[in-house]
Amino acid sequence: MSEVSIDRLYSDEPEFSDYFSLLKPRVMSLVVFTAIAGVVAAPGSIHPFVALVSIIFIALGGGASGALNMWYDADIDSIMSRTKSRPIPAGKISASEAKSFGIVLSVISVVMLGLASNWLAAFLLAFTIFFYVIVYTIWLKRMTPQNIVIGGAAGAFPPIIGWAVVTGNVGFESVLMFALIFIWTPPHFWSLALFMKNDYDSAEVPMLTVTNGRRSTRNHIFAYSCLLAVVALAIGFSSLSGPFYLLIAILFNVQLVFSAFKLWSRSEPECIADNSLLERKFFKFSLLYLFVHFAAIMIDSQINMTWLGSLI
Amino acid sequence: MSFGKEHDLHKRRRGRNLGLGLVLIGFVAIMFGLTVVKVTEGQFAEALAGASRNE
């Protein structure tokens, strides 16, 4: 066999990094961070090693659902410029292999989380995978422009799972963290859709920009940003946080509403003229927004713990 | 059939095998660590006591 034919035969053989990218590492980093916030903010304590292992398997469960999402969405991923270099459309990994990989990792992550922490946390992880793969990816994503709103719930579960790992139950405070991510998700992705406009059009995914138009998407972003500011500030008055969080929340939510207002009041010619500069900035800011809020929740929970400790 | 010199294919396979090996070592370390933690925290003893009560 000649060198040329060997090259042709094996040029598409996957590397380890291709399997890793099936797990959507960027999404996984958000899952890890918010799950850690759930663990840190929860009352009570667990062994640090159990906490570490739990976070690893929550992340693995999130990654497994990412692989299953890539399996099902392989057809539209090959159309969109943002996703066509993913391992399946790039021809590195077959769709069926990605499906098996996702199913096996889902089972391993759920069982291991149950063994490491408790079965409520494992059930919540299983439900999250089910919600993301079946409810969002298979059912709603191609059916309704509200796909992001409902699908956002899947990404909002990690802090609840982290909380359940420590406490063994679902507390009101963990539901507040869920609400923060749940309401944050739509404006975050809609701002992405505003500057990746051709992608969703050509893939015929019913994004709000495609079905309701760009004006309506800007209205939605502004409305959801106002709602998000209310939820974020409300958390500042709950037992989940303290003065540090409240200060951060005030600063960032004023900026959020101001940025959303600027997006809302903008015309399409202005957007084309600066190549969607404000939309890109809003998208990046929303990432920082979520990171800072959860970091503040963690910091405040440690301050509260120290303060309570000094009283006892 | 044998390859005279190292092909890119070999590098990719080596990388994959090495990655899988590290994952497996990590998994073994996790199982070992969890067992140590559960036993030292007494959960294993509690489980055994519960089982004997149920008999």
Mean pLDDT of each 10-residue bin along chain B, 55 residues long: 68 89 96 94 68 61
- pLDDT classification of A136: cutoffs 50, 70, 90: very high
Is ipTM strictly over 0.85? no
With a cut of 60, say whether residue A312 has pLDDT above it: no
How confident is the model over A80-123, as pLDDT tens digits? 888 888 999 998 999 999 999 999 999 999 999 999 999 999 99
Q: What is the pLDDT of residue A202?
A: 79
Q: Distance from A92 to chain B by nearest Cα, in Å?
A: 12
Q: Distance from A61 to chain B by nearest Cα, in Å?
A: 15
Tokens, residue A284: 């990046």
Tokens, residue A180: 């923060």
Tell me whether residues B33 and A116 touch, CB distance under 8 A.
Answer: no
Instruction: Count CB neighbours of A45 within 10 A.
Output: 10
Distance separating alpha carbons of residues A100 and B17, to the nearest angstrom: 19
Q: What is the pLDDT of residue A148?
A: 87
Chain A residues close to B29, C-beta within 8 Å: none
Distance separating alpha carbons of residues A206 and A185, to the nearest angstrom: 16
With a cut of 60, say whether residue A3 has pLDDT above it: no
Q: List residues in chain B touching A: CB distance below 8 A.
A: 1, 3, 7-9, 12-13, 15-16, 18-20, 30, 33-34, 37, 41
Distance separating alpha carbons of residues A251 and A239, to the nearest angstrom: 20
Tell me whether residues B13 and A13 touch, CB distance under 8 A.
Answer: yes
Tell me whether residues A49 and B37 touch, CB distance under 8 A.
Answer: yes
Considering CB atoms only, which of B15, B33, B37 is closest to A15?
Answer: B15
Tell me whether residues A10 and B7 touch, CB distance under 8 A.
Answer: yes
Instruction: Count CB neighbours of A141 within 10 A.
Output: 20
Tell me whether residues A53 and B34 touch, CB distance under 8 A.
Answer: yes
Q: Taking Cα atoms as reference points, which of A67, A69, A39 lies closest to residue A52?
A: A39
The answer to whether residues A170 and A123 touch, using CB atoms and an 8 Å cutoff, is no
- pLDDT classification of A5: cutoffs 50, 70, 90: low
Q: What is the pLDDT of residue B13?
A: 86
Tokens, residue A14: 């996957």
Tokens, residue A57: 């398997």
CA B46 to chain centre: 25
Mean pLDDT, rounded, of chain A: 91
Q: Mean pLDDT throughout A5-32?
A: 82
How confident is the model over A216-267, as pLDDT tens digits? 999 999 999 999 999 999 999 998 888 999 999 999 999 999 999 999 999 8
Report the half-sphere exposure of A102 (CA within 13 A, side-chain side). Answer: 27
Q: What is the pLDDT of residue A247?
A: 95
Q: Where are the alpha helices (DSSP H) in A131-242?
A: 147-156, 158-167, 172-195, 197-203, 208-211, 214-235
